[in-house]
A = this chain, B = another copy of it.
Amino acid sequence: MDALFDSTDAVRNANPLKHACEFLYSSPVNLERGGCLSEVRITYETYGELNLRKDNAVLICHAISGDSHVAAHDELDNTGWWEIMVGPGKPIDTDKYFVICPNFLGGCRGSTGPDSINPDTGYQYGLDFPEITVGDIVEVDCLLIDSLGITRLLSVVGGSLGGVVTLEWATRFPDRVLSAIPLATAAHMTSQALAFDIVARNAILSDPNYLGGRYYEKGVIPASGLAIARMLGHITYLSRESMMKKFDSTRNQARKIETAFETKFSVGSYLAYQGGKFVERFDANSYVVLTTAIDNFDLGSTPIELQKSLKRSMCRWLILSFTTDWLFPSFLSMELVNALLATDKRVSYCDIPSECGHDGFLLPDEFEIYGEMIRSFLSNISFEVLSGGVLQLERPDRIDYEQILDLIPRGAKVLDLGCGKGGLLARLRQRSECSRVQGIEIKEKYVLRCIERGLDVVQADLNDGLHAFSDHQFDFVVLSKTLQTVRDVEFVLDEMLRVGVRGIVSFPNLGFHEHRRRLMNEGQAPKLDFDDAKEWYNTSDVRFLTLKDFEYFCSKKGINVHHCIAIDTKQQKQIDQNPNENADVVILVISK
């Protein structure tokens, strides 16, 4: 095929599973919705070596049409669907970790599913295959993990349906999961995504060859219906942006494909091709069974319900979404993150800027960011597990950190708003290792830096508020040299003092004598930016205030000022006399 059909699809079109192992559980398995399977077979592949302590196992969960072949086993082997992520020296490093990837229950790649022979009848299950849930998938995969002698997984990782399975693992078997990395996923589908699944199933079920799911016996397949389901799937995996890039310039160019479907637009040729390929390798009943399982998945649709579900988890979390993913939009990842933050779980999160839509987690485009995040996160987890890890610390780059550290008692719960590269958080953690310190940062390069340092950091915009957190959830909330960059000062301070028993604010003081003189004598705007190269027209500062302005503001808003530290940073000294004139930076401890 031409290039149009190659890029995203090599990773999604399955290979023969020649390296697959088989695990047979020959006792009956009771299912959540009342059904029962008299035996269960799970096929899976592994990579790397399980160590003696059996604590280096990483479980990878595939997406709906994926399978156990996550990567090539050797040079002769076929490429896997996550080749970029898994292998020697790659982020999920098979030189360090023992990787297990099972084919899901209900699928059609060797594990028990609708196309398997029902041992009770000797015929293929077809629609007699009982309804399964994501919980059932995890239960049988756990039997596999048991059989390998693994008590606790170093990590469970997966995107899309695989992300949902990851969420289920972390909440169903909290003590068996040390860390969880759900990508491009959600605690429940949007109604829009659900609607696409319903239309896809309707297309399959109304195909005259479907025969109520009994098509195996008649030697036919509901090819049209399954192909249409797959076409819809493909639209939802791509973003509008990536479709424009892929198809707009060649819109009217049909490709030559053997198909009964419309091919006259390039995107039509693509869909016809993808639909046709899928029919060759996937079973319609499995599509119905697995989409129904994910559609019914719901960890909680209100914040309270979701918190209740996620509170059970005991792992560290790295959650990643992709900005143009509209099948599992970023706000659903934020719902997970917010519920974890509200229940004081250790979580890092980033919304990866991407044009690739839902497929983003499979593609190389943004791999440099999300691959490194996964590599660092796993490294830190395994380092802590395997050698009782110590954090790397850089030399202090911000003199005000020491002052702020002195204001915070050891062991206090601290939220750092606009935490940057994590300098303050790393010091807090170093001082008291098991204290709960959480960062919020908007720039993804800083988020990555924090993750590399083993810190918990969530990407978010302070201007959106801190609604994830409950009242007085933290002992201290820090807003260090960030106030002047915030547009909605009142809202951010309100939120800060709601969430923290105490707030610590530092900002550059416009009242400093140098600034006053520059305006008075030179007739020029004072330069307050910490980055000396910035001018009035390109500074990221948008608020200009003196210590006196801030004190007036506090008194007007009923904010208590407990403590004020004034510093002349150039002279590296603390100021006692007339701070509004003599300090260029001030630090205040406040509460409401």
Task: Report if A231 contacts B (CB, 8 A).
Answer: yes
Query: Contact at A235–B199, with CB atoms within 8 Å?
Result: yes
9 contacts between A and B (CB under 8 A): A199-B231, A199-B271, A202-B228, A202-B231, A202-B262, A206-B261, A511-B523, A517-B520, A524-B546
Query: Contact at B191–A206, with CB atoms within 8 Å?
Result: no
* A198 contacts across to B, CB distance below 8 A: 231, 262, 265, 267-268, 271
Query: Contact at B537–A194, with CB atoms within 8 Å?
Result: no
Task: Report if A549 contacts B (CB, 8 A).
Answer: yes
A residues 234-269 near B (Cβ < 8 Å) are 235, 238, 240, 243-244, 246-248, 251, 260-262, 265, 267-268
Question: In the complex, A355→B414 CA distance in Å?
Answer: 37
* A326 contacts across to B, CB distance below 8 A: 240, 326
Task: Report if A548 contacts B (CB, 8 A).
Answer: yes
Which of A240, A523, A525, A552 has the most B CB atoms < 10 Å from its CB?
A: A523
Closest A-B pairs by Cβ, 4 of them: A489-B537, A542-B542, A206-B224, A191-B247
Q: Which residue of B lies closest to A261 (CB)?
A: B202
Contacts A191-B248, A205-B260, A515-B519 known; list 20 others, CB within 8 Å. A190-B240, A190-B243, A191-B240, A191-B243, A191-B247, A191-B251, A194-B268, A195-B231, A195-B268, A198-B268, A199-B235, A202-B228, A202-B262, A489-B537, A490-B538, A511-B523, A523-B548, A524-B549, A535-B553, A537-B543
Task: Report if A69 contacts B (CB, 8 A).
Answer: no
- Give A465 Cβ to nearest chain B Cβ, in Å: 16
With contact pairs A201-B262, A267-B191, A543-B537 given, residues A196 and B548 touching in the complex (Cβ less than 8 Å): no
With contact pairs A329-B240, A546-B525 given, residues A538 and B262 touching in the complex (Cβ less than 8 Å): no
Q: Which residues of A contact B (CB under 8 A)?
A: 190-192, 194-196, 198-199, 201-203, 205-206, 208, 224, 227-228, 231-232, 235, 238, 240, 243-244, 246-248, 251, 260-262, 265, 267-268, 271-272, 275, 295, 301, 326, 329, 487, 489-490, 510-511, 515-517, 519-520, 522-525, 535-538, 542-549, 552-553, 580-581
Q: Which residue of B lies closest to A201 (CB)?
A: B262
Q: Which residue of B lies closest to A510 (CB)?
A: B525
Q: Which residue of B lies closest to A193 (CB)?
A: B240
Query: Contact at B525–A516, with CB atoms within 8 Å?
Result: no
